[in-house]
Amino acid sequence: MPELPEVETVVRGLAPRLPGHTIEGTAVLRPDILDGSTPTRFARLVKGKTVLSVTRRAKNIVIRTDAQITVVVNLGMTGKLLFFEPGRNIRTSHLAVRWKLSRGARMAYDDVRRFGRVWAGPNSAWETRASMMGPEPLDAAFTGSALHRALLGSRAPMRSWLLDQRHIAGIGNIYANEALYLAGIRPTRPAKLVTESEAHALHSGLTSVLTRAIQSGGTTLRDYRNADGERGEYATALKAYGRDGLPCPACGDPIERQVFGGRSAFFCPTCQS
């Protein structure tokens, strides 16, 4: 569900409020949400830790604490990480983990489908995992030329290539399709056949769609909510994703849908080659 802009929006909601709070208690209602831990071990690991910062890496919410322990939340398809000021009622539909924080605040992880994961471990273990992920597309170090070089070795379809987190971090099905639309590249095009100028167009498409989506608070199709339970408003700005049969905003021809890699791709057959 949530891709880079949605996770970034959650992080921006938490970053001003969560740091400084100490984790006083943890209740795990859905143990299968925990990545490589048990409710008892997880609760013991985070108890008494004070949050230092909340940041994003790829589609992960990264919560640093003192004592060199990092908590990482991946929202999967339908996960929500919600923050509750003191006295506010916790409203959840599929509560998986609940935290009691200092000064009466609380946080909850809610997830209908339970594809998301909550992990806690030493900073160094997290850094090892993070080092396997590709570059952040909004980093200055990520350029059109770097993208073109990375594409050269691969014959994977461009949409599949963009979804692989080892290539680029944080891209999911919505923004992969949107960026390919903006660059005029079909989702099925083998990566190595993307030209240098197309790679620059794709870089620019990625940065512009991600930046605009963040400005809109992300895309809510159904489940996504920010840390305050609010929807994102980018869905109305989508040009290709989910619009099969509707006119291409540029040429008016109908957008097509094609399933491969187990997921739907959307493209304009006239504007994208």
Partner DNA sequence: AGTGTATCCTGCAGGC
Partner DNA sequence: TGCCTGCAGGATACAC
User: 207 with 137: CB under 8 angstroms?
Assistant: yes
Residues that bind DNA (CB under 7 A): 1-3, 6, 32, 58-60, 74, 76-78, 94, 112-115, 153-157, 160-161, 163, 165, 172-174, 191, 218-224, 232, 259-264
Residue indicated by tokens 């995992």: 129
What is the CB neighbour count within 10 angstroms for residue 228?
15
Strand segments (E) across the chain: 23-28, 51-57, 60-65, 69-74, 79-84, 95-101, 106-111, 117-122, 256-260, 263-267
User: 232 with 224: CB under 8 angstroms?
Assistant: yes
CB of 270 to DNA, least distance (A): 22
Residues belonging to the active site:
2-3, 59, 263
The alpha carbons of the chain give a radius of gyration, in whole angstroms, of 20
Nearer to DNA by C-beta: 2 or 144? 2
CB of 103 to DNA, least distance (A): 31
Nearer to DNA by C-beta: 144 or 172? 172
Could you tell me the two tokens for 268? 């304009």
Nearer to DNA by C-beta: 65 or 173? 173
Could you tell me the two tokens for 144? 């059109």
CB of 108 to DNA, least distance (A): 17
Nearer to DNA by C-beta: 105 or 111? 111
CB of 24 to DNA, least distance (A): 29
Q: How far is the C-alpha of 127 from the C-alpha of 56, rounded, in Å?
A: 13
Measured CA angle at 167 (ends 163, 169), to 5 deg: 70
